[in-house]
Every structure is written in structure tokens, then in C-alpha cells.
Homo-oligomer: A and B are copies of this chain.
Amino acid sequence: MNQLILKTPLSEAQEDYLKQILLLSSGGTGSLEPTLAVSTQDLADEMQIKPASVTGMLKKLSEHGLVEHEAYRGVRLTATGYKVALEVLRHHRLIEAYLHQALGYGWEEVHAEAERLEHHISEAFEARIAEWLGHPSHDPHGDPIPSAQLELPQDAPSQRLSSLEDGEYGLVMRVATQDQDALNLLARLGIRPGAKVEMLMLGHSVEGTRVRVGEQRYLLPTNLAQMVWVSPLGDEYAG
């Protein structure tokens, strides 16, 4: 319903740039407010292309009024660019939710498929799957889905699993990575949105982060523990 009207329809590459600028500028906290400027390098790393190619594309996006690019100082989304990025993100996350709930994909499997489909569905398709899903506010990774009006749901505050105190319990709210191997591992351990995780005593060490999920104890690489966002439960919820 919120079909944005632009002079030129955007290419797949252009949509991906805008989406990545949004994700990087909001710093992976899930809040999606485009605060910081994003560097050419960071975009290049994220998109697996060379910085020189990024510069070229930023010039084009800038001419189209979708970003503001100050040479050597990074790039920011304009109001229009921000809306387009949210629209792409809405497509992506609705598709993830649909693949999971309607077609039985595992929550860790949906990203790659959504990544390709997000650029090729119509507004009608978006509307129909949103309807089927009951207009969900979050995707299977716990990421917020912009509404049809491109507004973001208000998320309860959460913290990284790695920041829980020894003995503290957390309810997993988000798994914030797109790395397929990381997703596979976390899925295998049962660390997914809705799961309860305990930070073990002496849980923080150079060897990693020690946690309990269900009956099992795991030594988790700390960088993985940083990708998992939890809402603390207090020790009384043990079990």
C-alpha cells in the first residue's frame, strides 16, 4: 500500500546498497534509526565488493537523491532513501516470516532465500503474505518488521547474551547475524528467539562464554554470544 513512487525504478544493486547503509548506520542494535554515517570500507566489506565500486554507486545514489555522500566522510540516507531501505527490509523480513511459518523452513534457513526474493515480489505479494501472517511485528530472527506505513515496532530493551552476569537468566529476543554457519550452530544448540539461556558461574573467560540451554551446558565463542540479544529474567525463573 505504501508503494514509493520514484522517477527511476531502482536496480537490485541499488536497493541492496540502501538496505546495507541502513543496517550499518543503525549499528546492529536493532533500533534502525540511521544515526551514524557509514564508511565506504564498511559497505565494501559487508557487500563483498571493492571500495572503488562503492564510491561509484554512492555517486549514482547521491544523484538520485537517495543518499548524501560527503567525500572521505561517509554516507547517510536521505528521507527518501530511508523509506526505500525500510521497504526493502520489510520485504525481506516478511518473506523470512512467511517461509518459516507457511512453508516450514527452519528459522536459520530463511535468510538466503529472502535475500534473493526481496527484490522480485510485487506490492500485491507483500500485502498477501502480510495478511496471511497476521501482520507480524518481528521476523524469525527476532528482527523488527516495518509496518506497511514503514513504522517500526517499539522493542523492549534488551542486551547482548555476552553481557549477562554470572548466574543470570535471559530470554532470547534476537539473533543478530546473517552468517549462515553462525546461524546453523546457534540453531543446533537451540539458541533461538524464545529460548531461555542461563549464564553459568564463571561464564566469562578468554576461552569463551559458558551458558546453559535446557539441560545442556555449552562453551560458546564469545563473538557468537554477542550476536544473541536477550531480555534478562532474574534468577528466580530457573528451570
Contacts and interface: CB of A to CB of B under 8 A. Distances in A.
A10 interface: no
A120 B116 contact: yes
Contacts of A104: 128
B103 A128 contact: yes
Contacts of A105: 124, 128
A44 interface: no
B103 A113 contact: no
Which of the four size classes fits the interface of chain A? 10 to 19
B113 A122 contact: yes
B129 A103 contact: yes
Nearest to A115: B120
A218 interface: no
A40 to B, nearest CB: 29
Contacts of A112: 122
Contacts of A125: 99, 103, 113
Interface in A18-51: none
A117 interface: yes
Contacts of A116: 120-122
Interface in A121-135: 121-122, 124-125, 128-129, 132
A121 B117 contact: yes
A233 interface: no
A102 interface: yes
A116 to B, nearest CB: 5
A125 B125 CA distance: 16
A128 B117 CA distance: 15
A124 B129 contact: no
A117 B122 CA distance: 10
Contacts of A122: 112-113, 116
Contact of A102 (B102, B117, B121): B102
18 contacts: A102-B102, A103-B125, A103-B128, A103-B132, A104-B128, A105-B124, A105-B128, A109-B124, A113-B121, A113-B122, A113-B124, A113-B125, A116-B120, A116-B121, A116-B122, A117-B117, A117-B120, A117-B121
Interface of A: 99, 102-105, 109, 112-113, 116-117, 119-122, 124-125, 128-129, 132
Question: 5 shortest A-B CB distances, which residue pairs?
Answer: A103-B128, A116-B120, A120-B120, A113-B122, A117-B120
